[in-house]
Amino acid sequence: MKKMLPWLITILLAITLIAIVAIILLNNIFGDDKNSDSKAADSVKNVQAERISASKRVDVTSEIKEIRTNLVDPEYIVDLDFAFQLENKKTKEDFEKIKDIVIKPIIISTLGDMTPESLNGSKGKDELKSKLLNLINQKLQETTEGKLVNVDITDFIIAQL
């Protein structure tokens, strides 16, 4: 019996350690949902949008109108107008210079990869706006010092041919 006692203690310690690790992992994986939701809600409460006057917003906003292109499904066509809010007036001036040769192709190629179902609803439009924001900011960083702050869809029509 004296020879088996160290083995029994080792086995009991191993089982205890495994149980403790399993409980910790389960709490981190499944028990953190409430904490992450409350953290997300707290972070949203603390966010304050920068307020700018209407005249300043007009000064830093550029529009691209009447973009018509096919979607992935060639039987559908989309007609969109966009408003792009830029960081400052200088960035807007640079944006105006390149919007027909750089920005429109980005928009058309992004729309060409989308389906009519992916554009339906506010979620689809938000995804399109975020994709465009990221892609256009990458191109703007190559040509100017400013950045694109916001993308808005001002007109939206999907039609089947």
What is the residue-level pLDDT of the chain in tens, covering all 161 positions?
678 888 888 999 999 999 998 888 888 887 655 555 555 455 545 545 567 788 888 889 999 999 999 998 889 999 999 999 998 888 888 888 888 998 899 999 999 998 888 888 888 899 999 999 999 888 888 877 888 889 999 999 999 88
Give the largest Cα separation in the chain, rounded.
Answer: 89
| DSSP three-state, residue 68 | strand
Give the Cα separation of 84 and 1 in Å (integer): 81
Which tokens in the block code for residue 100?
Answer: 């027909």
| DSSP three-state, residue 83 | strand
Domain boundary assignment for the chain: 5-46, 58-160
In sequence order, what are the beta bridge partners of 82?
64, 153
Q: Are 105 and 161 in contact (CB under 8 A)?
A: no
Q: Does domain 58-160 have CATH number 3.30.479.30?
A: yes
